Amino acid sequence: MSLVLQLLMNGLIAGAIYALVASGFSLIYSTNKFVHFAHGSAVAVSAYFLYLLFSMFNFEFFLSVFLVILFAGAFGLLMDKAVYSQLRKRKASGLILLIASIALLILFESLILLFFGADVKTINLIKVEKGLEFFGAIITPLQIVIIVTSIVLLALLFVFMKRTKLGKAMRAVSDNKDVAEIMGISSTKIFAWSFVIGSAVAGVAGILIGLEQNLEPTMGTNLMIKGFTGAIIGGVGSVPGAILGSFLLGLAENFGIWFLPSGYKDAIAFVILFIFLIFRPQGILGIKKQGDKQAGA
Protein backbone atom coordinates (compact mmCIF):
# COMPACT_ATOMS: atom_id res chain seq x y z
CA MET A 1 0.00 0.00 0.00
CA SER A 2 2.72 2.44 0.95
CA LEU A 3 4.51 1.57 -2.28
CA VAL A 4 1.47 2.57 -4.30
CA LEU A 5 1.26 5.83 -2.36
CA GLN A 6 4.96 6.51 -2.85
CA LEU A 7 4.71 5.90 -6.58
CA LEU A 8 1.62 8.10 -6.69
CA MET A 9 3.48 10.84 -4.86
CA ASN A 10 6.54 10.55 -7.12
CA GLY A 11 4.25 10.58 -10.12
CA LEU A 12 2.56 13.76 -8.91
CA ILE A 13 5.89 15.51 -8.32
CA ALA A 14 7.18 14.51 -11.74
CA GLY A 15 3.83 15.51 -13.24
CA ALA A 16 3.95 18.93 -11.58
CA ILE A 17 7.40 19.57 -13.02
CA TYR A 18 6.40 18.40 -16.49
CA ALA A 19 3.22 20.48 -16.27
CA LEU A 20 5.23 23.64 -15.61
CA VAL A 21 7.28 22.98 -18.73
CA ALA A 22 4.33 21.84 -20.82
CA SER A 23 1.97 24.70 -19.97
CA GLY A 24 4.32 27.42 -21.22
CA PHE A 25 5.12 25.37 -24.27
CA SER A 26 1.45 24.79 -24.98
CA LEU A 27 0.64 28.48 -24.54
CA ILE A 28 3.25 29.36 -27.15
CA TYR A 29 2.04 26.61 -29.45
CA SER A 30 -1.59 27.67 -29.18
CA THR A 31 -0.97 31.08 -30.70
CA ASN A 32 2.15 30.50 -32.77
CA LYS A 33 1.18 27.08 -34.15
CA PHE A 34 4.62 25.60 -34.26
CA VAL A 35 6.64 23.35 -32.00
CA HIS A 36 8.95 25.57 -29.98
CA PHE A 37 11.50 23.00 -28.80
CA ALA A 38 13.82 25.73 -27.56
CA HIS A 39 11.32 26.22 -24.73
CA GLY A 40 13.47 23.64 -22.94
CA SER A 41 16.43 25.96 -23.18
CA ALA A 42 14.39 28.73 -21.53
CA VAL A 43 13.97 26.37 -18.54
CA ALA A 44 17.66 25.41 -18.48
CA VAL A 45 18.93 28.96 -18.97
CA SER A 46 16.67 30.18 -16.12
CA ALA A 47 17.92 27.50 -13.77
CA TYR A 48 21.53 28.40 -14.55
CA PHE A 49 20.78 32.09 -14.22
CA LEU A 50 19.42 31.42 -10.73
CA TYR A 51 22.59 29.50 -9.96
CA LEU A 52 24.66 32.42 -11.23
CA LEU A 53 22.79 35.07 -9.22
CA PHE A 54 22.07 33.16 -6.05
CA SER A 55 24.96 30.74 -5.65
CA MET A 56 27.77 32.65 -7.33
CA PHE A 57 26.93 36.32 -6.76
CA ASN A 58 25.07 35.74 -3.49
CA PHE A 59 22.02 37.79 -4.37
CA GLU A 60 19.08 37.58 -2.02
CA PHE A 61 16.89 34.62 -2.91
CA PHE A 62 13.65 36.41 -3.69
CA LEU A 63 15.43 39.12 -5.65
CA SER A 64 17.14 36.38 -7.69
CA VAL A 65 13.80 34.69 -8.32
CA PHE A 66 12.28 37.95 -9.49
CA LEU A 67 15.22 38.66 -11.80
CA VAL A 68 15.18 35.13 -13.20
CA ILE A 69 11.49 35.34 -14.11
CA LEU A 70 12.07 38.72 -15.75
CA PHE A 71 15.10 37.35 -17.56
CA ALA A 72 13.17 34.29 -18.77
CA GLY A 73 10.45 36.46 -20.28
CA ALA A 74 13.05 38.63 -22.04
CA PHE A 75 14.83 35.51 -23.24
CA GLY A 76 11.63 34.21 -24.85
CA LEU A 77 11.00 37.58 -26.49
CA LEU A 78 14.53 37.63 -27.84
CA MET A 79 14.16 34.20 -29.44
CA ASP A 80 10.91 35.30 -31.03
CA LYS A 81 12.25 38.59 -32.36
CA ALA A 82 15.68 37.39 -33.47
CA VAL A 83 14.69 34.13 -35.14
CA TYR A 84 11.05 33.20 -35.31
CA SER A 85 9.50 36.46 -36.43
CA GLN A 86 12.18 36.79 -39.10
CA LEU A 87 11.30 33.37 -40.40
CA ARG A 88 7.59 34.08 -40.14
CA LYS A 89 8.02 37.19 -42.29
CA ARG A 90 9.23 34.88 -45.02
CA LYS A 91 6.12 32.73 -44.50
CA ALA A 92 8.23 29.76 -43.41
CA SER A 93 6.23 26.65 -42.52
CA GLY A 94 5.93 25.17 -39.06
CA LEU A 95 8.52 22.61 -40.06
CA ILE A 96 11.19 25.25 -40.67
CA LEU A 97 10.37 26.89 -37.36
CA LEU A 98 10.67 23.46 -35.73
CA ILE A 99 14.13 22.92 -37.25
CA ALA A 100 15.14 26.42 -36.12
CA SER A 101 13.91 25.69 -32.60
CA ILE A 102 15.93 22.46 -32.42
CA ALA A 103 18.97 24.45 -33.55
CA LEU A 104 18.28 27.02 -30.80
CA LEU A 105 17.90 24.26 -28.21
CA ILE A 106 21.28 22.77 -29.14
CA LEU A 107 22.84 26.23 -29.36
CA PHE A 108 21.92 27.17 -25.78
CA GLU A 109 22.71 23.72 -24.43
CA SER A 110 26.21 24.05 -25.90
CA LEU A 111 26.59 27.61 -24.60
CA ILE A 112 25.72 26.45 -21.08
CA LEU A 113 28.19 23.60 -21.47
CA LEU A 114 30.84 26.06 -22.60
CA PHE A 115 30.36 28.54 -19.75
CA PHE A 116 29.43 26.32 -16.83
CA GLY A 117 31.09 23.03 -17.76
CA ALA A 118 29.65 19.54 -17.91
CA ASP A 119 29.70 18.86 -14.16
CA VAL A 120 26.41 19.06 -12.29
CA LYS A 121 25.68 22.16 -10.21
CA THR A 122 23.50 22.39 -7.14
CA ILE A 123 21.71 25.38 -5.70
CA ASN A 124 22.03 24.99 -1.96
CA LEU A 125 19.06 26.94 -0.76
CA ILE A 126 17.53 24.26 1.39
CA LYS A 127 19.52 21.77 3.36
CA VAL A 128 18.66 18.18 2.71
CA GLU A 129 15.83 17.51 5.08
CA LYS A 130 14.19 14.41 6.27
CA GLY A 131 11.04 13.92 4.27
CA LEU A 132 7.64 14.08 5.86
CA GLU A 133 5.55 11.00 5.97
CA PHE A 134 2.05 10.80 4.59
CA PHE A 135 0.47 7.40 5.10
CA GLY A 136 3.80 5.76 4.51
CA ALA A 137 4.83 7.86 1.48
CA ILE A 138 7.77 10.19 1.91
CA ILE A 139 7.72 13.71 0.53
CA THR A 140 10.06 16.61 1.25
CA PRO A 141 8.81 20.14 2.08
CA LEU A 142 10.33 21.40 -1.17
CA GLN A 143 8.36 18.87 -3.15
CA ILE A 144 5.18 20.11 -1.48
CA VAL A 145 6.20 23.64 -2.47
CA ILE A 146 6.70 22.47 -6.05
CA ILE A 147 3.29 20.84 -6.27
CA VAL A 148 1.53 23.78 -4.62
CA THR A 149 3.36 26.41 -6.69
CA SER A 150 2.64 24.61 -9.90
CA ILE A 151 -1.05 24.25 -9.07
CA VAL A 152 -1.33 27.93 -8.08
CA LEU A 153 0.62 29.08 -11.12
CA LEU A 154 -1.37 26.95 -13.49
CA ALA A 155 -4.63 28.20 -11.95
CA LEU A 156 -3.42 31.78 -12.43
CA LEU A 157 -2.53 31.00 -16.02
CA PHE A 158 -5.99 29.57 -16.53
CA VAL A 159 -7.68 32.68 -15.07
CA PHE A 160 -5.39 34.86 -17.16
CA MET A 161 -6.41 33.09 -20.36
CA LYS A 162 -10.12 33.22 -19.50
CA ARG A 163 -10.56 36.62 -17.87
CA THR A 164 -8.01 39.19 -19.00
CA LYS A 165 -8.14 41.11 -22.25
CA LEU A 166 -4.72 39.87 -23.31
CA GLY A 167 -5.64 36.28 -22.53
CA LYS A 168 -8.81 36.59 -24.57
CA ALA A 169 -6.87 38.13 -27.44
CA MET A 170 -4.46 35.20 -27.28
CA ARG A 171 -7.29 32.72 -27.48
CA ALA A 172 -8.75 34.64 -30.37
CA VAL A 173 -5.48 34.48 -32.31
CA SER A 174 -5.10 30.82 -31.44
CA ASP A 175 -8.62 30.12 -32.67
CA ASN A 176 -8.41 32.01 -35.93
CA LYS A 177 -5.58 34.38 -36.62
CA ASP A 178 -7.09 36.07 -39.66
CA VAL A 179 -10.43 36.83 -38.04
CA ALA A 180 -8.64 38.09 -34.93
CA GLU A 181 -6.65 40.49 -37.09
CA ILE A 182 -9.82 41.77 -38.71
CA MET A 183 -11.04 42.54 -35.20
CA GLY A 184 -7.99 44.71 -34.67
CA ILE A 185 -5.80 42.30 -32.71
CA SER A 186 -2.19 42.50 -33.81
CA SER A 187 -1.07 38.91 -34.20
CA THR A 188 2.62 39.89 -34.11
CA LYS A 189 2.11 41.43 -30.67
CA ILE A 190 0.17 38.40 -29.47
CA PHE A 191 2.92 36.09 -30.72
CA ALA A 192 5.46 38.14 -28.79
CA TRP A 193 3.30 38.23 -25.64
CA SER A 194 2.83 34.47 -25.67
CA PHE A 195 6.59 34.06 -25.86
CA VAL A 196 7.06 36.43 -22.92
CA ILE A 197 4.44 34.77 -20.73
CA GLY A 198 5.21 31.22 -21.79
CA SER A 199 8.92 31.72 -21.16
CA ALA A 200 8.29 33.41 -17.81
CA VAL A 201 6.39 30.26 -16.79
CA ALA A 202 9.42 28.33 -18.01
CA GLY A 203 11.48 30.58 -15.73
CA VAL A 204 9.40 29.50 -12.73
CA ALA A 205 9.82 25.89 -13.85
CA GLY A 206 13.57 26.43 -14.08
CA ILE A 207 13.71 27.82 -10.55
CA LEU A 208 11.73 24.99 -8.98
CA ILE A 209 13.54 22.30 -10.91
CA GLY A 210 16.87 23.93 -10.10
CA LEU A 211 16.06 23.71 -6.40
CA GLU A 212 14.79 20.14 -6.57
CA GLN A 213 17.32 18.55 -8.90
CA ASN A 214 20.88 19.11 -10.00
CA LEU A 215 21.62 21.42 -12.90
CA GLU A 216 23.21 19.94 -15.96
CA PRO A 217 23.56 21.33 -19.47
CA THR A 218 21.31 18.67 -21.03
CA MET A 219 18.44 19.35 -18.61
CA GLY A 220 16.67 21.58 -21.13
CA THR A 221 16.48 18.86 -23.76
CA ASN A 222 15.39 16.19 -21.31
CA LEU A 223 12.70 18.37 -19.75
CA MET A 224 11.50 19.52 -23.12
CA ILE A 225 10.98 15.97 -24.32
CA LYS A 226 8.88 15.26 -21.23
CA GLY A 227 6.99 18.54 -21.33
CA PHE A 228 6.36 18.12 -25.00
CA THR A 229 5.13 14.56 -24.51
CA GLY A 230 2.80 15.79 -21.76
CA ALA A 231 1.49 18.48 -24.09
CA ILE A 232 0.90 16.00 -26.91
CA ILE A 233 -0.90 13.53 -24.64
CA GLY A 234 -3.22 16.22 -23.31
CA GLY A 235 -3.78 17.95 -26.60
CA VAL A 236 -1.19 20.31 -27.97
CA GLY A 237 -2.26 23.93 -27.93
CA SER A 238 -4.59 23.41 -25.00
CA VAL A 239 -3.06 24.59 -21.72
CA PRO A 240 -5.41 22.56 -19.46
CA GLY A 241 -4.77 19.58 -21.74
CA ALA A 242 -1.03 20.01 -21.39
CA ILE A 243 -1.35 20.01 -17.59
CA LEU A 244 -3.55 16.93 -17.57
CA GLY A 245 -1.22 15.16 -19.99
CA SER A 246 1.84 16.01 -17.91
CA PHE A 247 0.35 14.57 -14.74
CA LEU A 248 -0.72 11.44 -16.63
CA LEU A 249 2.80 11.12 -18.01
CA GLY A 250 4.38 11.55 -14.57
CA LEU A 251 2.11 8.86 -13.15
CA ALA A 252 2.59 6.52 -16.12
CA GLU A 253 6.36 6.77 -15.84
CA ASN A 254 6.44 6.13 -12.13
CA PHE A 255 3.94 3.29 -12.19
CA GLY A 256 5.62 1.91 -15.29
CA ILE A 257 8.80 1.11 -13.39
CA TRP A 258 6.76 -1.38 -11.42
CA PHE A 259 6.86 -3.59 -14.47
CA LEU A 260 10.07 -2.48 -16.17
CA PRO A 261 13.60 -1.74 -14.98
CA SER A 262 13.86 1.89 -13.87
CA GLY A 263 16.21 2.69 -16.76
CA TYR A 264 13.23 2.39 -19.07
CA LYS A 265 11.49 5.34 -17.41
CA ASP A 266 12.42 7.58 -20.31
CA ALA A 267 11.54 4.98 -22.90
CA ILE A 268 8.01 4.84 -21.47
CA ALA A 269 7.62 8.54 -22.24
CA PHE A 270 8.88 8.14 -25.79
CA VAL A 271 6.66 5.17 -26.50
CA ILE A 272 3.61 7.07 -25.22
CA LEU A 273 4.65 10.06 -27.33
CA PHE A 274 5.00 7.89 -30.40
CA ILE A 275 1.65 6.18 -29.85
CA PHE A 276 -0.17 9.46 -29.37
CA LEU A 277 1.45 11.12 -32.39
CA ILE A 278 0.33 8.23 -34.55
CA PHE A 279 -3.10 7.36 -33.24
CA ARG A 280 -4.34 10.52 -31.62
CA PRO A 281 -2.15 13.47 -32.61
CA GLN A 282 -4.77 15.88 -31.29
CA GLY A 283 -4.35 14.46 -27.78
CA ILE A 284 -6.98 13.74 -25.15
CA LEU A 285 -8.55 17.18 -24.94
CA GLY A 286 -7.56 18.50 -28.35
CA ILE A 287 -10.11 19.00 -31.04
CA LYS A 288 -9.30 17.47 -34.36
CA LYS A 289 -9.10 20.15 -36.99
CA GLN A 290 -9.21 19.44 -40.66
CA GLY A 291 -5.89 20.44 -42.10
CA ASP A 292 -4.04 20.11 -38.83
CA LYS A 293 -2.34 16.99 -40.04
CA GLN A 294 -1.63 18.67 -43.32
CA ALA A 295 0.25 21.49 -41.63
CA GLY A 296 3.51 22.12 -43.38
CA ALA A 297 2.61 19.97 -46.34
Partner 1 sequence: MIEAYLIHLAILICIYIILSISLQLSMGFTGLFNFGHIAFYCTGAYVSALLALNGFPFWVCLIAAGIISAVFGIVLAFPTNKLKGDYLALATLGFSFVIYAIALNWVELTRGPLGLPGIPKPELLGFVFSDNLAFLGLAAILALISYLVIKRVVVSPFGRVLESIRDDELASKTLAKKTFRVKCYSLALSAFFAGIAGSLYASYITFIDPSSFTLLQLIPILAIVIIGGLASLEGTIIAAIIIVLLPEPLRFIGFPSSVVGPARQIIYALLLLIILLFRPKGIDGKIELE
3-class secondary-structure state, position 138: strand
If binding means CB under 8 A, how many residues of this protein chain bind partner 1? Answer: 47
In the chain, the amino acid numbered 18 is Y
Asked if 5 interacts with partner 1 (CB under 8 A), we say no
Q: Which of 52, 55, 59, 94 binds partner 1 (CB under 8 A)?
A: 94
Site map for partner 1, 13-42, x if CB under 8 A?
A: ---------------------xx-------
Return the residues of window 260-289 that contact partner 1 according to CB under 8 A: 261, 263-264, 266-267, 270-271, 273-274, 277-278, 281
Q: Which is nearer to partner 1, 74 or 87 (CB)?
A: 87
Instruction: Give the containing element (helix H, strand E) for 274.
Output: helix 265-279
Distance CA 233, CA 98 (A): 19
Quote the DSSP letter at residue 263: G
How far is the CA of 94 from the CAs of 178, 197, 292, in angstroms? 17, 21, 11
Crossing angle of helices 94-116 and 39-50, in 10° steps, is 20
In the chain, the amino acid numbered 127 is K
Q: Which of 8, 77, 111, 142 binds partner 1 (CB under 8 A)?
A: 111
Asked if 257 interacts with partner 1 (CB under 8 A), we say no
Determine how many CB atoms are found less than 10 A away from the CB of residue 282: 18
Asked if 66 interacts with partner 1 (CB under 8 A), we say no
3-class secondary-structure state, position 133: strand
- Interacting residues with partner 1 (CB under 8 A): 34-35, 83, 86-87, 90, 92-96, 98-100, 102-107, 109-111, 113-114, 117-118, 221, 225, 232, 261, 263-264, 266-267, 270-271, 273-274, 277-278, 281, 293-297
